[in-house]
């Protein structure tokens, strides 16, 4: 009869003399479990079914080892993120979160994994290629791009190879800029402007792709024509530079001469105005003096006439080497030609005789005829002329 049928006497828990409604003995269950699974020789209630004397310590050592392994496994989840980095936690291979610099912890492998990425490092990419300009010329361009990671999640999961994507996007942006400008603009005039436009367009492409990269600088390091036409191109550049130099020299000469000519013209005008004012003032002064003289002449004509006569004679005689001597008011004036007398003295001193020199001196002083002096010359007395006029 089955143990669970009514009136059955069998007890599956081995409760012995207890009633069927009493709960099973827990200690008996543990002992039976040990006898069945922890003994050496098998089950049964015999003495051979109980565990050996070393079974307890072995199980304790296994528990300790398992605890140590678990502790080491949990401790392996600690990691450090450098201040220049960011940590990306992957949970079963999928993105979970981004961790900032410091000491962090995550569920160890295989539950979670961590990748640290340097977000402050400036990376660099370069490219050199031949391109066609707007005026259908070929130019050899070398470009250098500097960039960094701005979004680690986008950098890891949006694009398979972000760095390679940046290389291709750089070529595309540079070809667009070069194709929209002339050769002279790319080589000489607008090299810096072309680099700035390329940077903006490259950044726009990277954002549309979601690469998580930020372009910090684009430098057009080299731009030159192909080697086959470099000599002709350099000759053209030299001619253009000579043209610019000559234009600058001409402008410099014009800037120097025009102000100088304007200054000379202004100085000439001022001199003419000064001369005009001086002549006008002198003429006005002469006219005023003449009017005053006329008024004085009308008041005293004889005195004015004598004064004019003496003033005129004074001006004339001041420029001659002659002396006029009035002899005691006799009405006659003697003129002594001193210039001729000095020449005679010089000729006589050349003879070397002191006697002749003293004789000459006495002749000069005496005024005799033997002294070699010219005769006396008398001039009319102005007072006699006045008397005759009266």
Q: What is the pTM of this model?
A: 0.45
**Residue 5 pLDDT:** 46
Placement of tokens 């490219």 in the chain: 127
Cβ neighbors of 24 (< 8 A, separation 6 or more) are 13, 15
DSSP 147-177: EEES-HHHHHHT-S-HHHHHHHHHHHHHHHH
User: In 3D, which of 153, 269, 170 has the Cα closest to residue 218?
Assistant: 170
User: In 3D, which of 263, 192, 251 has the Cα closest to residue 223?
Assistant: 192
Please state, in angstroms and rounded to a whole number, the distance separating the CA atoms of residues 113 and 117: 13
**Residue 35 pLDDT:** 64
Q: Burial letters for 281-307: b for 16+ Cβ neighbours within 10 Å, e otherwise?
A: eeeeeeeeeeeeeeeeeeeeeeeeeee
Bridge partners of 220, per DSSP, are 143
Q: Burial letters for 18-41: b for 16+ Cβ neighbours within 10 Å, e otherwise?
A: eeeeeeeeeeeeeebeebeebbee
Contact 117, 85 (CB under 8 A): yes
**Residue 389 pLDDT:** 42
Contact 174, 131 (CB under 8 A): yes
**Residue 10 pLDDT:** 46
Contact 341, 371 (CB under 8 A): no
Please state, in angstroms and rounded to a whole number, the distance separating the CA atoms of residues 86 and 102: 9
**Residue 327 pLDDT:** 62
Altogether, the residues listed in the chain come to a count of 390
Q: Output the tens digit of pLDDT for each of the chain's 390 residues.
A: 444 444 444 444 444 444 444 455 656 666 665 565 554 444 444 444 444 555 567 777 777 788 788 778 777 777 777 777 878 878 777 777 777 777 777 777 777 777 777 888 889 998 888 888 888 888 888 889 999 998 888 888 888 899 999 999 999 999 999 989 888 888 877 888 889 999 999 999 999 999 999 999 999 888 888 877 778 877 877 898 899 999 999 999 989 999 999 999 999 999 999 999 999 999 999 999 888 888 878 888 888 788 888 888 888 877 766 666 666 666 666 666 666 777 777 776 655 444 444 444 333 333 433 334 444 444 445 544 444 444
- What are the boundaries of each domain within the chain? 1-40, 78-118, 123-225, 317-348+370-389
Expressed in angstroms, the distance from the first to the final Cα of the chain is 204
> DSSP 3-state assignment of 121?
coil
CA angle 186, 188, 190 (to 5 degrees): 55
* CATH superfamily to which 123-225 belongs: Band 7 domain (3.30.479.30)
**Residue 369 pLDDT:** 38
For the record, the structure tokens of 49 come out as 């079914």
């Amino acid at each position: 009869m089955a143990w669970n049928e009514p009136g059955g006497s069998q007890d599956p828990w081995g409760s012995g003399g207890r009633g069927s409604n009493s709960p099973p003995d827990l200690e008996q269950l543990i002992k039976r479990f040990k006898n069945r699974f922890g003994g050496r020789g098998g089950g049964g209630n015999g003495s051979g079914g109980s565990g050996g004397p070393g079974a307890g310590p072995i199980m304790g050592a296994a528990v300790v080892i398992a605890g140590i392994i678990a502790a080491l496994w949990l401790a392996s989840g600690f990691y450090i993120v450098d201040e220049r980095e960011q940590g990306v936690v992957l949970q079963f291979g999928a993105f979970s979160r981004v961790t900032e610099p410091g000491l962090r912890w995550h569920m160890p492998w295989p539950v979670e994994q961590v990748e640290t990425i340097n977000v402050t490092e400036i990376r660099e990419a370069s490219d050199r290629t031949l391109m066609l300009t707007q005026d259908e010329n070929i130019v050899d361009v070398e470009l250098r791009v500097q960039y960094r990671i701005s979004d680690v999640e986008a950098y890891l999961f949006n694009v398979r190879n972000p760095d390679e994507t940046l290389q291709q996007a750089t070529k595309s942006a540079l070809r667009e800029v070069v194709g929209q400008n002339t050769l002279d603009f790319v080589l000489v005039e607008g090299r810096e402007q072309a680099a700035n436009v390329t940077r903006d367009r490259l950044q726009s492409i990277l954002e549309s792709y979601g690469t998580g990269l930020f372009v910090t600088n684009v430098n057009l390091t080299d731009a030159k024509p192909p080697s086959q036409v470099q000599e002709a191109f350099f000759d053209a550049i030299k001619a253009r530079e000579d043209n610019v130099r000559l234009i600058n020299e001409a402008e410099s000469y014009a800037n120097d001469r025009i102000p100088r000519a304007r200054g000379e013209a202004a100085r000439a005008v001022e001199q003419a105005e000064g001369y005009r004012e001086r002549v006008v003032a002198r003429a006005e002064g002469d006219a005023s003096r003449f009017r005053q003289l006329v008024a004085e002449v009308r008041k005293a004509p004889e005195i004015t006439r004598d004064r004019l006569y003496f003033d005129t004679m004074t001006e004339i005689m001041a420029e001659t080497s002659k002396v006029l001597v009035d002899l005691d008011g006799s009405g006659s004036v003697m003129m002594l030609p001193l210039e001729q007398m000095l020449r005679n003295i010089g000729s006589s001193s050349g003879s070397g005789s002191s006697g002749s020199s003293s004789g000459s001196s006495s002749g000069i002083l005496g005024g005799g005829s033997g002294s070699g002096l010219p005769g006396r010359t008398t001039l009319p007395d102005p007072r006699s002329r006045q008397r005759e006029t009266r």
